[in-house]
Amino acid sequence: MNNTTGNDTLPVRPFNRYQIGAAIISPVAVTNLAVVIMILSKSSLRTVTNIIICSSCVSALLFALMLIIAAIVTSVSTVGVHLFFLRCIYNHAVELTLGGIFSFHITAISLERFFSVIYPFRYQRFANVRNTSVVLVAVWLLPVILIYLPSFIASWIVNQRCFPWPKHIINVFFYILFPIIIFLPPIVISITYIIMIYKISSITSKSWLLRTSGRLSASAMASNGNTILLTTSNPLVSNKTETSHHSKSRQRALRNRKPLLQMLLLVGIYSLTLFPFYFLFLLLIETNDEQKFRVPLYVSYLVTIGYLLVHPILSVVFTSAIKKECLKTWRNVRLNSCWCSSRLRQVGDAQISSSLAISPAVHLTHQGSFKT
């Protein structure tokens, strides 16, 4: 949403969202770049999941770079350059294309984790460099083909320039492509995590039943027929079985708590940051009430780009290998800083000791010269 019209005057805006967005997105560039460097610098982290995470951080960096360039251009350029940049270089299509690339990365990460959990043997067979490269190329090219190229080509065919868009392109863009980009990741995340939780729960339940039936069969083989009936009807044995079942159910609940918490955090944070922007944008299009919805829409846009800061943090927290390397790096940094501070302290103490040792000799020398 660049808020440009068909004339050659700048639109009235409550504030320059590009400048404020650039200030917000600066830490986004730092966190995403840190994750990219961490993954690429450690050979142990170059797995399929981590490579997709690395590519998603690169897409976030590209979005941040374009927003910073937009902030610079809209601050220092003339009206003509300003309008050309917002209409033809960093327009609606480019923004949504960059958002689509990032959205498809989140979807790909969820699907990759789903297949690694549900179909581990097939996953090991297909998780290679070639297939990963194909997935990444598709994730980067599909938004360009589906979003940017149709709007660009249609504008040049109809108007012989990049602006304005034809009416049918506007309808497809705002009512089909935009909601797909916004709602695809939370839908895929919810479905995949629900299936994973159900699968993990059913597997643990079956394993518990197999272990229980195995113990009963072993006790039955060690006894005669009358003893079997007495043992299975014994209330002490029944209570022990119920207690064991309750304990196993509690263990299954604790085991399922982690993926459930991950799903709630991923979907919850994504929804809180992106959904308000979409609904406010939809209200603005339907009502055309600039005075009522412009400021809330701009604020929700700034909240939306804040998700790019949360994404690498969630990726580190929910990926054990990256999390372990980050903690190791943090410990090394702390140890080095502690060593440097202790070394400086030792040097300072040595200097103080040497100055104290020299002071009496200097004092005696001064006394001797005074007597002389």
Q: What is the mean pLDDT of residues 67-85?
A: 84
Its CATH class, for the domain covering 17-212+255-327, is mainly alpha
Tokens 């142990």 belong to 44
280, two tokens: 């406010």
d(CA 122, CA 114): 12
Q: Please tell me the least confidently modeled range out of 248-257, 262-271, 293-302, 316-325.
A: 248-257
φ, ψ at 219 (rounded to 5°):
-70, -30
Q: Which pLDDT score, from 0 to 100, does residue 225 have?
A: 47
Cα gap 254→73, rounded to integer Å: 52
Using only C-alpha atoms, the chain has a radius of gyration, in whole angstroms, of 31
Domain ranges of the chain: 17-212+255-327
Residues 346-351: what's their mean pLDDT?
A: 63
Per-residue pLDDT band at 339 (split at 50, 70, 90): low
Task: Give the lowest-confidence range in 1-5, 16-20, 68-72, 323-327.
Answer: 1-5
Residues contacting 32, CB < 8 A, separation 6+: 57, 58, 60, 61, 64, 308, 311, 312
**For residue 56, what pLDDT is reported?**
95
Please report, rounded to a whole number, the percentage of residues in the chain having pLDDT higher than 70: 72
User: Average pLDDT of 268-289?
Assistant: 90
Count Cα atoms within 13 angstroms, Cβ side, for 333: 6
Pairwise pLDDT comparison (222 vs 150), residue with the higher score: 150
Sequence-distant (6+) residues with CB within 8 A of 88 are 161, 162, 163
Question: b/e string for 340-350 if b means 16 or more Cβ within 10 A?
Answer: eeeeeeeeeee
What ranges make up the beta strands (E) of the chain? Answer: none
- What is the average pLDDT across 238-253? 52
Indicate if the pLDDT at residue 112 is higher than 80: yes
Q: What are 114's two structure tokens?
A: 């789903």
The 10s digit of each residue's pLDDT in 171-208 is 888 889 999 999 999 999 999 989 988 887 777 666 65
Q: How confident is the model at residue 82 (pLDDT cuts 50, 70, 90)?
A: confident
- Specify whether the CB–CB gap between 345 and 93 falls below 8 A: no
Tell me what pLDDT residue 346 has: 66
Query: Which two tokens mark 166?
Result: 């034809």
Q: Judge whether 315 and 31 are in contact, CB under 8 Å.
A: no
Q: Which is higher by pLDDT, 59 or 263?
A: 59
- Show the CA angle centred on residue 5, arms to residues 10 and 290, nearest 5°: 85
The chain-wide mean pLDDT, for the chain, equals 78
Among 73-77, 113-117, 160-164, the range of highest mean pLDDT? 113-117
Ordered DSSP codes for 109-177: HHHHHHHHHHSHHHHHHH-SHHHHHHHHHHHHHHHIIIIIHHHHHHHHHHHSSS-SPPHHHHHHIIIII
Does the pLDDT value for residue 362 go beyond 60?
no
Return the pLDDT at 239: 52
Q: Which pLDDT tens digit goes with each residue over 114-130?
A: 888 888 888 888 888 89
Q: What is the pLDDT of residue 208?
A: 55
**Average pLDDT, integer, range 96-112:** 93
Q: Please, which pLDDT band fits residue 304 given cuts at 50, 70 and 90?
A: very high
C-alpha to C-alpha distance for 371 and 367, rounded to whole angstroms: 6
What is the Cα–Cα distance from 40 to 308, expressed in whole angstroms?
20
Distance CA 223, CA 349 (A): 79
pLDDT at 142 over 90: yes
Q: What six digits make up the tokens of 141?
A: 């090219």
In the structure, what pLDDT confidence band is assigned to residue 76 with cuts at 50, 70 and 90? confident
Q: Determine what percent of the chain is predicted with pLDDT higher than 90.
A: 26
Q: What is the reported pLDDT for 255?
A: 57
| Residues 6+ positions from 252 with CB-CB distance below 8 Å | 200, 201, 204, 205, 208
DSSP letter, residue 223: S
More confident residue, 306 or 78: 306
pLDDT at position 50 is 92
Q: Which residue has the higher pLDDT, 129 or 161?
A: 129
Tell me the three state secondary structure of residue 199: helix
Closest residue by Cα to residue 325 from 11, 7, 31, 41: 41
Q: What is the pTM of this model?
A: 0.76
Separation in Å, CA 331 to CA 128, 151, 327? 32, 50, 6
- Please identify which residue in the block is written with the tokens 């159910």: 249
